[in-house]
């Protein structure tokens, strides 16, 4: 990431914030991984002060935590926190897309189909980063014409955070990619057909809540596997 010597303090903090978010989304930073302030400063070309400010912001959002005498690390995010964020996202995004839909152009919808195809191709390659990047662009595009600027800005600020939380808590669950692709196609087709706002909102909300339900099952399954592994180790130690 190249440094801009003219960037102000807020720009530098945002640069570090986005850098850490992107690395969590890409899987470079996993839950529990240490975050070295000096390394981040070197990677982003800023001093230590904006790095600390960015990490404190990430801490306030529940993505980073500080440990006494140990520094910062990627937070171990729980299923409840993830559920709360995704439920909120489902409501806000459903409304935003329903308001945006009548204003989307034929070119917008063609681009949405292209992005969905890119997601399919990334899934076939097993490329989580490319899949997530195309997904962010797809959802961002469908919201892009929303006339409620506050709602649109709120979602835009939260999109990367949602992706980071999903990457940290859930990881890449490729088995639902085909279903998500079909839902994307249906959503774009119904927008192109001029479906009423209530239908578009319901489709978008169902898309998000369906993903949450599947992810929640995956989280529970992973927790059960971890508990089983711990129990097996305990049994061996006692034998």
The tokens describing 12, both together, are 């530098």
* Residue extents of the structural domains in the chain: 9-74, 79-225
**Using 50, 70 and 90 to split pLDDT, how confident is the model at 129?**
confident
Give the pLDDT confidence score for residue 74 in this predicted structure. 87
C-alpha of 206 from chain center:
17
63 or 170, greater pLDDT: 63
16 or 231, greater pLDDT: 16
User: Distance (Å, rounded) from C-alpha 95 to C-alpha 42?
Assistant: 41
CATH fold of 79-225? 1.20.120
Contact 19, 49 (CB under 8 A): no
Contact 57, 19 (CB under 8 A): no
**Using 50, 70 and 90 to split pLDDT, how confident is the model at 233?**
low
User: Distance (Å, rounded) from C-alpha 206 to C-alpha 87?
Assistant: 10
Radius of gyration of the chain (CA): 20
User: Distance (Å, rounded) from C-alpha 155 to C-alpha 151?
Assistant: 6
The tokens describing 50, both together, are 């904006």
CATH label, 9-74, candidates 3.30.420.40, 3.40.50.300, 1.10.10.10, 3.40.50.620: 1.10.10.10
- How buried is residue 175: exposed, middle or buried, by Cβ count under 10 Å (0-12/13-18/19+)? exposed
Contact 168, 122 (CB under 8 A): no
Give the pLDDT confidence score for residue 108 in this predicted structure. 98
Q: Give the residue-averaged pLDDT of 215-225.
A: 62
Element (H, E) at 46: none
Give the pLDDT confidence score for residue 82 in this predicted structure. 77
């Amino acid at each position: 990431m190249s440094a801009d010597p003219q960037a102000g303090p807020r720009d530098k903090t945002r640069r570090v914030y986005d850098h850490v978010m992107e690395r969590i989304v890409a899987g470079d930073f996993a839950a529990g991984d240490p975050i070295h302030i000096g390394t981040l400063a070197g990677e982003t070309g800023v001093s230590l002060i904006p790095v600390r400010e960015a990490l404190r912001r990430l801490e306030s959002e529940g993505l980073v935590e500080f440990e006494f005498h140990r520094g910062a690390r990627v937070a171990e995010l729980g299923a409840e926190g993830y559920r709360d964020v995704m439920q909120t996202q489902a409501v806000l995004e459903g409304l935003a897309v329903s308001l945006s839909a009548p204003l989307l152009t034929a070119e917008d919808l063609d681009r949405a189909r292209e992005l969905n195809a890119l997601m399919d191709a990334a899934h076939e390659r097993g490329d989580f980063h490319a899949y997530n990047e195309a997904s962010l662009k797809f959802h961002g595009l469908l919201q892009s014409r929303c006339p409620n600027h506050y709602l649109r800005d709120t979602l835009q600020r939260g999109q990367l955070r949602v992706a980071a939380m999903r990457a940290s808590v859930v990881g890449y669950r490729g088995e639902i990619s085909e279903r998500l692709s079909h839902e994307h196609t249906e959503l774009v087709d119904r927008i192109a057909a001029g479906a009423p706002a209530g239908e578009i909102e319901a489709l978008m909300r169902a898309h998000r809540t369906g993903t949450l339900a599947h992810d929640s099952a995956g989280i529970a399954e992973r927790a059960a596997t971890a508990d089983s592994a711990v129990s097996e180790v305990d049994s061996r130690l006692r034998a």
